[in-house]
Amino acid sequence: MKSTTKKIFVLILLGMGFMCLPNIKLNFSFGQKSNVKIPKQSAAYTESFIHVDGNWTLTATKAWCDGLGTWQEPYVIEDVTIDSGGTGSGIFINNSKNDYFIIRNCTVYNAGSGTYDAGIKLENTNNGTLTNNNCSNNPQYGILLLNFCYNNT
């Protein structure tokens, strides 16, 4: 009887230990890297930053953006390479609640190291689709969804 109780106790301890593992954040950073590995570019378009703050009018005039923002014809940001220069997020879309958009085949790297900096950051934004993007070599996050983001895939 004692060995069965010991086995159950050990199994419970192991189970509790495994449940705590996802909450552990490991940081193996040993300082700033001086050379950033630049990923392969997506296409001919190069930008340092794309920001949409609830209004797509200016962004829709760019050569790399097309569409109307509707479900049938969403805005499409496509084939853009973004070097964020070590500050902020490469693509930052916020307060876009009613427009539909797709970010496709973009390369975003060298975002900032702030708490909420990312290659692609969506904040308070709905109806987005991200496909075939390379968000590598960003110190914090590749893709970050923050504060009330719904219906994004």
Q: What is the pLDDT of residue 41?
A: 56
Residue 67 lies in a domain: yes
If one compares 35 and 115, the residue with the highest pLDDT of the two is 115
- 14-54: pLDDT as tens digits: 777 767 666 555 555 555 555 555 555 556 788 899 999 99
Residue 30 lies in a domain: no
Residue 95 lies in a domain: yes
Residue 12 lies in a domain: no
114: domain range?
A: 41-153
Q: What is the pLDDT of residue 1?
A: 56
Q: What is the pTM of this model?
A: 0.71
Q: What is the pLDDT of residue 107?
A: 94
Counting the structural domains of the chain, the total is: 1
Residue 65 lies in a domain: yes
Q: What is the pLDDT of residue 51?
A: 95
| Average pLDDT across the chain, whole number | 85
Amino acid at 67: G
Give the closest residue to 120 by CA, choosing from 147, 76, 84, 90. Answer: 90
Q: What is the pLDDT of residue 15?
A: 76
Residue 14 lies in a domain: no
Residue 22 lies in a domain: no
Amino acid at 149: C
> CA 88, 92, 62: angle at the middle one, nearest 5?
115
